[in-house]
């Protein structure tokens, strides 16, 4: 199955999966029986599974993503286990496989069970302190450095977050901006950015990147105002990209 290309498939409706479905999958595929509640997700379905005081994330992926892409995410997380930040670990199913092919409402989906990275999202704070901003930048750098020597065939994908195709993504989606004036402003800003990037495009370094090291996807130690970033989550956008794009996503 070919890897995902956003430019040819710009619509990514989440698969239809209920809490009851997730309960069944957790039990039958992984042998986990506990409390299940849905978590947020932009394009997949994520559920928090509580079992005997421990917490896990049941992630049911969008069918647009191939097994190779999911394997790349798994491998990237494993590669970063000793990078100095907590990252999820994929747990085998009852059959010993990391990927469980499950039937949900007449659709075959891939389910994975991941360890839960404890802590509070940095986004829980309305305003970030200077120390927290620095910690967020450090996390971005730590992950980028940790992935510098990582390769996997499942990373050869084109996502909407790949800054190498940023202008193409803008124009693929610009029709969703209702105001003609705002569409014109977005188009003009896109052209200004492209004019600045194009002369240096060929010299920008490419490697594996997380692609979304933001305050939503890093967690800090418990406690109001804590600045210590302890973990990184959501590896769904792992792909090859410009190294500087890791920093750009964090700054944005």
108 and 151 both lie in a single domain: no
Q: Rounded CA gap, 210 and 1, in Å?
A: 22
The pLDDT score that the predictor gives to residue 42 is 83
109 and 133 both lie in a single domain: no
Indicate if the pLDDT at residue 33 is higher than 90: yes
The pLDDT score that the predictor gives to residue 249 is 95
The pLDDT score that the predictor gives to residue 9 is 85
Tell me the mean pLDDT in the region 233-244: 96
The pLDDT score that the predictor gives to residue 198 is 97
Kindly state whether residue 6 falls inside one of the protein's structural domains: no
Kindly state the percentage of the chain with pLDDT values over 70. Answer: 98
The pLDDT score that the predictor gives to residue 224 is 60
Indicate if the pLDDT at residue 250 is higher than 60: yes
Q: Rounded CA gap, 4 and 1, in Å?
A: 9
Indicate if the pLDDT at residue 245 is higher than 70: yes
95 and 128 both lie in a single domain: no
pLDDT bucket at 223, cuts 50 / 70 / 90: low
Kindly state whether residue 1 falls inside one of the protein's structural domains: no
Sign of CA dihedral 146, 149, 152, 157: positive
The pLDDT score that the predictor gives to residue 12 is 85
Which residue range(s) make up the domain with 215?
A: 121-251
131 and 246 both lie in a single domain: yes
131 and 227 both lie in a single domain: yes
Kindly state whether residue 220 falls inside one of the protein's structural domains: yes
pLDDT bucket at 1, cuts 50 / 70 / 90: low
Kindly state whether residue 12 falls inside one of the protein's structural domains: no
φ/ψ of residue 47, rounded to 5: -130, 135
- Which of 108-112, 142-146, 156-160 bottoms out in mean pLDDT, i.e. has the lowest? 156-160
Strand blocks (E) in the chain: 35-39, 45-51, 54-60, 90-91, 100-104, 107-115, 120-121, 206-209, 218-220, 229-232, 239-242
189 and 221 both lie in a single domain: yes
Indicate if the pLDDT at residue 191 is higher than 80: yes
81 and 143 both lie in a single domain: no
pTM of the model: 0.91
Kindly state whether residue 177 falls inside one of the protein's structural domains: yes
The pLDDT score that the predictor gives to residue 230 is 94
Are 142 and 100 spatial neighbours (Cβ–Cβ below 8 Å)? no
Are 22 and 111 spatial neighbours (Cβ–Cβ below 8 Å)? no
Kindly state the percentage of the chain with pLDDT values over 90. Answer: 86
């Amino acid at each position: 199955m070919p890897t995902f290309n956003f430019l040819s498939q710009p619509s990514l409706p989440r698969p239809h999966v209920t809490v009851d479905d997730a309960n069944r999958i957790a039990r039958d595929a992984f042998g986990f029986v506990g409390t299940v509640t849905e978590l947020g997700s932009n394009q997949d379905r994520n559920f928090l599974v509580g079992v005997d005081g421990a917490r896990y994330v049941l992630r049911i992926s969008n069918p647009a993503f191939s097994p190779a892409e999911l394997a790349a995410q798994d491998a990237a997380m494993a590669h970063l286990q000793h990078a100095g930040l907590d990252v999820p670990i994929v747990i085998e199913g009852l059959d010993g496989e990391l990927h469980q092919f499950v039937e949900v409402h007449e659709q075959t989906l891939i389910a994975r069970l991941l360890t839960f990275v404890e802590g509070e999202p940095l986004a829980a704070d309305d305003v970030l302190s200077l120390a927290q901003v620095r910690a967020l930048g450090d996390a971005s750098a730590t992950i980028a450095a940790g992935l510098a020597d990582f390769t996997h065939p499942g990373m050869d994908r084109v996502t909407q977050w790949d800054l190498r195709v940023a202008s193409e993504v803008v124009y693929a989606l610009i029709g969703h901006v209702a105001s003609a004036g705002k569409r014109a402003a977005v188009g003009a800003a896109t052209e200004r950015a492209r004019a600045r990037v194009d002369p240096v495009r060929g010299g920008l370094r490419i490697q594996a990147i997380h692609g979304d090291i933001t305050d939503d996807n890093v967690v800090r130690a418990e406690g109001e105002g804590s600045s210590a970033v302890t973990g990184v989550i959501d590896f769904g956008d792992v792909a090859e990209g410009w190294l500087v794009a890791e920093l750009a996503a964090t700054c944005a």
